[in-house]
Amino acid sequence: MERRSEIEHVDVVYSLLRSCNSLFLASCLVDLYASLSFPHSAHVIVSSFSRPNIYLFNRAIRTFSKIPPLCLESLRLYYHMVGSSIKFDNFTYPFLLNSCAALCDLSSGTEIHGRIVKNGFCSCIPVSNALIDMYGECKELGCARIVFDEMRQRDVVSYNALLGAHGRDGKDMLGAQMVFDGTPVRNVISWNALVVGDVNSGDLSSAGEIFDEMPDRNIVTLDNNASWIYEKWASGFG
């Protein structure tokens, strides 16, 4: 019954959008439907314009990518739009890669990576950062490292993304330490990634020592594993 009501409601909204062609109204509705977990409705809104609109498309996939249960919808919308005349831009790919990372969808991530190379967006720092993060979430440290090494310019997010990839993998902490030492500007995320990596590698002693050296321990965002070792270290575990 709820599904039927949603479809009837969308039919009415679709007709209104066709008549007024308001991009602002469409974007607000996409946000609303996504927040209400009505992905079908959001898809209808995006496709209601006679010509595919990249702004509206990006708005939809960004909204989906921020809601974990709807990350798959951003990829479905992407594949639906691949065959259209729409041209993706540097805002499109980070949102899509965020969804791939959340889903650990390496297959879609590598396919999107191929399109990034083909369309010439490898030099865009946010796009490369999102690629590093996606490969890190999928435990493909080697691929994350290749993307990082091929970047002509990097920012603090680039280094933290690679450190995060090392941390989640937990297998090459010597390499992680080298990345950490070469990070121009370290922040709490940099330190936390190193600690989490040592925890995941089973080296609790090193994790505790690094935590003890952290300059901003009071504002660190703890993950479940890291918070456990922090408590152990604070209570005298060595």
pLDDT tens-digit profile of 94-153?
A: 999 999 999 999 999 999 999 999 999 999 999 999 999 999 999 999 999 999 999 999
Report, as an integer, the average pLDDT of 207-221. 71
Q: pTM of the entire structure?
A: 0.81
Tokens of 194: 């190193």
Q: Which helix (H) or strand (E) holds 209?
A: helix 204-213
Whether 14 shows a pLDDT value over 70: the answer reads no
Residue pair 200/190 in contact (Cβ under 8 Å)? The answer is no
- Measuring CA to CA, how many Å separate 13 from each of 6, 39, 48, 143? 10, 15, 10, 44
Quickly state the pLDDT bin for 48 (edges 50, 70, 90).
Answer: low
Q: What is the pLDDT of residues 147-168, one digit of tens each?
A: 999 999 999 999 999 999 998 8
Cβ neighbours of residue 228 closer than 8 Å, sequence gap 6 or more: 199
Q: Lowest-confidence range among 17-21, 93-97, 210-214?
A: 17-21
Residue closest to 226 by CA, chosen among 206, 187, 200: 200
Quickly state the pLDDT bin for 13 (edges 50, 70, 90).
Answer: low
So what's the pLDDT on residue 238?
45
So what's the pLDDT on residue 207?
81
Q: Is 65 helix (H, G, I), strand (E, B) or coil?
A: helix
Q: Which helix (H) or strand (E) holds 150?
A: helix 141-150
Residue listed under structure tokens 């590598």: 110
Q: Where are the domains of the chain?
A: 156-238
Residue listed under structure tokens 């039919």: 11
Residue pair 138/109 in contact (Cβ under 8 Å)? The answer is yes
Establish how many alpha carbons lie within 13 A of residue 135's alpha carbon, considering only the half-sphere containing its beta carbon: 23
* First and final C-alpha spacing in the chain: 59
So what's the pLDDT on residue 85?
74
Residue pair 158/148 in contact (Cβ under 8 Å)? The answer is yes
The whole-angstrom separation of Cα 207 and Cα 222 is 13
- Measuring CA to CA, how many Å separate 38 from each of 4, 46, 220? 12, 13, 35
